[in-house]
Amino acid sequence: MTREPLSPEIMTYYARAAEAARLFEGAGRLEFARTQEIVLRHLPRRRTVVLDVGGGPGTYACWLARLGHEVHLVDASALHVDQARAASALEPTRPLASARVGDARRLDHADASVQAVLLLGPLYHLTEPRERLAALAEARRVLEPGGLLFAAAISRFASLLDGVRAGMFRDPAYVAIVERDLADGQHRNPTAEDYFTTSYFHLPHELAAEMERAGFAVLELVGVEGPGWVVPDLDSRWSDARERERLLWAARMVEREPTLLGLSPHLIAVGRRP
């Protein structure tokens, strides 16, 4: 197991400080809206203690704090934790309960101390099954019995579809990256291009299987964005309320369809600690 939570190339990738804007542009807006509805489907309305592990710049954590939940954020990137604290400071009446640097595989939180865990990032940057199992076991440890885990993965087919969407196949280096992604899910980017960074891209059923192996009862496994994220004019469609609703509807219609799960770049499995 690596000692540092993030390898140097992942640190370099996030040092570009682009993560804070990601969910507010392009397909990120579809991902954000859909992830919010998937979380709200399960999360109790009453004030709930939530631990956002790999919470990045705090977009989901601050949203849940604004809804009245007690939200603690942990992330391996000091830059992201600083950004989350700054975002929290903009909400003085509903701030984050805490934001700290930490590793999903070794959480500081006590056993059975939270009611929900978000794990919307670490699982794909942990490239070995035993590392992902360690992160899932930690989520299980800190959850009280009956507590909920929302775990995200990147689909095996994300870079293939993104290449179709944005025309990256002109670059032979991108084609080589996609070929390896499809072969074994190990995404590596040896270029200086914005082709994401070191990750593992799951086959959809693998995410549910890993959650079950870690002792969770899987309540659902869903594709997040659905088919709409590949349209070239996503930004203009998103600014039209009716078109936006159609894109969300399309995602909902096939969100649990096993043969289409991999169409979404992000997958979410919702689990319960028995």
Ligand X SMILES: C[S@@+](CC[C@H](N)C(=O)[O-])C[C@H]1O[C@@H](n2cnc3c(N)ncnc32)[C@H](O)[C@@H]1O
Distance of alpha carbon 139 from its chain centroid, rounded?
15
Q: How far is the CB of 162 from ligand X (least distance, A)?
A: 15
Nearer to ligand X, 103 or 225 (CB): 103
Q: How far is the CB of 191 from ligand X (least distance, A)?
A: 19
Return the HEC string of the chain. CCCCCCCHHHHHHHCCCCHHHHCCCCHHHHHHHHHHHHHHHHCCCCCCEEEEECCCCCHHHHHHHHCCCEEEEEECCHHHHHHHHHHHHCCCCCCCCEEEECECCECCCCCCCEEEEEECCHHHHCCCHHHHHHHHHHHHHHEEEEEEEEEEEEECCHHHHHHHHHCHHHCHHHHHHHHHHHHHCEECCCCCCCCCCCEEEECHHHHHHHHHHCCCEEEEEEECCHHHHHCCCHHHHHCCHHHHHHHHHHHHHCCCCHHHHHHCCEEEEEEECC
Q: Give which of 246, 208, 243 is closest to 226, Cα–Cα.
A: 246
Q: How far is the CB of 23 from ligand X (least distance, A)?
A: 6
- Establish if 262 lies at the interface with ligand X (CB under 6 A): no
- Within 8 A by CB and 6+ apart from 199, the residues are 124, 125, 127, 154, 187
Q: What are the φ and ψ backbone dihedral angles of 75, each rounded to 5 degrees?
A: -150, 150
Nearer to ligand X, 77 or 159 (CB): 77
* Among the listed residues 80, 140, 187, 202, the single contact to ligand X using CB under 6 A: 80
Nearer to ligand X, 78 or 253 (CB): 78
Q: How far is the CB of 60 from ligand X (least distance, A)?
A: 6
Residues numbered 112-141 forming contacts with ligand X, rule: CB under 6 A: 120-122, 125-126
- Establish if 83 lies at the interface with ligand X (CB under 6 A): no
Q: How far is the CB of 259 from ligand X (least distance, A)?
A: 26
- Establish if 207 lies at the interface with ligand X (CB under 6 A): no
- Establish if 19 lies at the interface with ligand X (CB under 6 A): yes
Nearer to ligand X, 155 or 233 (CB): 155
Residues numbered 43-72 forming contacts with ligand X, rule: CB under 6 A: 53-56, 59-60
Binding mask 91-110 for ligand X (x = CB under 6 A): ------------xxx-----
- Establish if 267 lies at the interface with ligand X (CB under 6 A): no
Q: Are residues 158 and 164 in contact, defined by beta-carbon separation less than 8 angstroms? A: no
- Establish if 75 lies at the interface with ligand X (CB under 6 A): yes
- Establish if 14 lies at the interface with ligand X (CB under 6 A): yes
Nearer to ligand X, 39 or 221 (CB): 39
Q: How far is the CB of 148 from ligand X (least distance, A)?
A: 16
- Establish if 77 lies at the interface with ligand X (CB under 6 A): yes
Site residues for ligand X per CB under 6 A: 5-6, 14, 19, 23, 53-56, 59-60, 75-77, 80, 103-105, 120-122, 125-126
